[in-house]
Amino acid sequence: MSENEKLEQTKPAKADKKKDAAKADKKPGFFARIGKWFKELKSELKKVQWPTKKQTINNTVIVILCCIVVGICICVFDALAGSVIRALLDLFGKG
């Protein structure tokens, strides 16, 4: 076979591949994409290791206690800073 004949035989195959690639490149419809998203969401949620009730309560109590401790620290720092500023203003007679 000559090289020209070989090229002619491969051209239709390349054209078919381009058509197939063009079809594959098209985006699926809006509702198809939403359906796919929900299917993937469901499969991912099945993989999640959900905490037990006891772990959830324990973590919630720890977070609440940490918030209270941080709030108390901020309150104490604010009171100290206010009293230091008030003392400095009284010391220099501008208060």
DSSP secondary structure string for all residues of 5-60: HHHHHHHHHHHHHHHHHHHHHSPPPHHHHHHHHHHHHHHHHHH--PPPHHHHHHHH
Residues 31 and 2 occupy one common structural domain: yes
pTM of the model: 0.52
CA pair distance 85, 79, nearest whole angstrom: 10
Domain holding 17, by residue range, is 1-48
Q: Averaged over 30-40, what is the pLDDT?
A: 94
pLDDT for position 93: 83
With bands split at pLDDT 50, 70 and 90, how would you rate the model's confidence at 26? confident
Q: Averaged over 73-91, what is the pLDDT?
A: 95
pLDDT for position 66: 98
Residues 15 and 37 occupy one common structural domain: yes
Residues 40 and 57 occupy one common structural domain: no
Query: How many structural domains are present in the chain?
Result: 2
Q: Are 59 and 51 in contact (CB under 8 A)?
A: yes
> Of residues 2 and 28, which shows the higher confidence score?
28
